Amino acid sequence: MKRMLSGIKPSGQLTLGNYIGALREFVKYQNDYEMIVFIANLHTLTVYQDPKELSQNLKDTIALYLACGLDPNRSTIFMQSDVMEHAQLGFILSCNTYMGELNRMTQYKDKLAKGEESMTSGFYVYPTLMASDILIYDPDFVPVGEDQKQHVELTRDVAMRFNNRYGETFKIPQPLIPKIGARIMSLSDPTKKMSKSDEQDKGCIYLLDKPEVARKKVMSAITDLVGKVQYDPINQPGIANLLVIHSALSGRSIENLVKEFEGQGYGTFKKAVADEVVKLLIDLQAKYNDILNQHILDKVLAQGAVKARVLAHQKLKLVETKIGLTID
């Protein structure tokens, strides 16, 4: 069975975009792949986090993963910081990564262009830790959004360079980008990705939003003056985004939805989208609360960390032997 790995940075509440683009896909993938899913808590430290908020975000993230259907008996689920081999391999890989490569990373260039003096060295080198997160488990596939594809490409470059220098060590992973739902846009500015860091909270639907709050956000979503429900991401990005959301949650094709709402107003269409979102939130939140009441999170993470450490330790020891850190 092929192996797939993915992680999520718990720097804020999980969003509808996270669910459609990642969490929901994990549930599907675990039926066909050996799934390794980790909470990337070390990556949150590249910018300051309030300790209490971070701890709560970690708890919410894990519980929501399980509420979405991730099964600890079929997937390895753990906290990144519980497997310290990630950080150890991350340093070794940073010594095999050029500064020019890190300088070309889009997120770094964006921050640099904004003149952010408070950018940490951890933020600068975090792509090498991300490469470690991936390569330490030899996955075949890494599901990512379009905006994260560059990180997997860097990971592949670093792995191939290491293999060329020291001999075959790492499997070269393939990025897997879902065709629909990988990039859900902001409801208040559909030209931007729906994000936990969205300054306008009304543009982002959180999985723990009260259902009626989420409904209001959908009903107030920015659209256009065209007045026709059709999939035109360039000229009607707001309507296109709502069509993607409805399609992802209802399982119906965008073409089918366009036909259904032909000649109908945006209000009617938005209500249908809101109904799908509310239905999802009610179901997810009921499961989330049940999981918290069972007090099983520590057990799930401990079991996952034990399994992950076995793989990570083996790979790190192989790497150390390859580069000469061990005594023959």
Q: What is the pLDDT of residue 199?
A: 58
CATH topology of domain 201-289: Tyrosyl-Transfer RNA Synthetase (1.10.240)
Q: HSE on the CB side for 70, CA within 13 Å?
A: 30
As a whole number of angstroms, the distance between CA 242 and CA 106 comes to 27
Residue 146: CB atoms within 10 Å:
13
Q: Which residue has the tokens 């989330």?
A: 288
271 is catalytic: no
CATH topology of domain 3-182+295-323: Rossmann fold (3.40.50)
196 is catalytic: yes
pTM: 0.83
> pLDDT by residue (tens digit) across 231-240?
999 999 999 9
As a whole number of angstroms, the distance between CA 39 and CA 50 comes to 17
Q: What is the pLDDT of residue 79?
A: 97
> pLDDT by residue (tens digit) across 30-85?
999 999 999 999 999 999 999 999 999 999 999 999 999 999 999 999 999 999 99
As a whole number of angstroms, the distance between CA 315 and CA 36 comes to 15
| Domain boundaries along the sequence of the chain | 3-182+295-323, 201-289
Q: What is the pLDDT of residue 179?
A: 62
Q: What is the pLDDT of residue 144?
A: 86
Instruction: Give every residue of the chain whose pLDDT is below 50, as ranges.
Output: none
Given the residues 196, 202, 228, 307, select the one marked as catalytic. 196
Given the residues 111, 149, 202, 322, select the one marked as catalytic. 111
As a whole number of angstroms, the distance between CA 89 and CA 101 comes to 18
114 is catalytic: no
